[in-house]
Structure 1
Amino acid sequence: MSHTQEFAETLALQCFAWLAGHEELLPIFMGASGVTEDDLRQGAGDPVFLGSVLDFVMMDDSWVIDFCAAHGVENDALMRARMVLPGGEQVNWT
């Protein structure tokens, strides 16, 4: 699977749509991130926002597994996509 910006944004958009389709999970994301409904509408085109969607979903293994199973991607696909989006770089402390 490719590690391009386009791949990452496409997968993150799919994840955003998956999140938006879960009525019990979306309000938790909104509360945790502080986004409004307007922010949700505008965020779909923002790689930084999409990275926050991936960060949120990756907080719970069951959410990752559910999303990946529903979209036929490997369980590490979200992590790989996150690494490509802004703010997802690995930090090297040495």
Structure 2
Amino acid sequence: MIALRALGWLVGNDDLLPVFLGASGTAPDELRNRASDPDFLSSVLDFILMDDAWVVAFCDAAGLAYTEPMAARQALPGGAETHWT
């Protein structure tokens, strides 16, 4: 659910949406169809998690703790925390 909320927030952000679309190679008309794809939702969270200011803006808008996007990302495919030791 957090990833879907992140996608909704991103779609409503006129400054970041074009950046996400360009970085992900996603066409605007694909967003609705890919909203149920866990891999795509992972990419949405990965994108937002790249910048602390984006995390703060999303969480403030969604009423979430700043740690929740990362926890949601870890629950999606490929999101296991990496331990380098």
Same-fold call, TM > 0.5? yes
Aligned-pair CA distance for 1:93: 4.6
**Superposition TM-score, scaled by structure 1 size:** 0.84
Question: Does 1:57 pair with 2:48?
Answer: yes
Higher RCO, 1 vs 2 (CA within 8 Å, ≥6 residues apart): 1
Q: 5+ residue gaps in structure 1?
A: 1-9
Question: Does 1:86 pair with 2:77?
Answer: yes
Question: Percent of counterpart pairs with the same letter?
Answer: 52
Describe the superposition over 1:13-65 as per-residue Cα deviations: whole angstroms up to 9, x where unpaired.
00000000011110100001111123212111011100100000011111100
Cα distance between partner residues in 1 of 2:20 and 2:54: 12
- The RMSD of aligned alpha carbons is 1.2
Task: Please identify runs of 4+ aligned residues in structure 1 that moved more than 2 A.
Answer: 91-94
Q: How many residues align?
A: 85
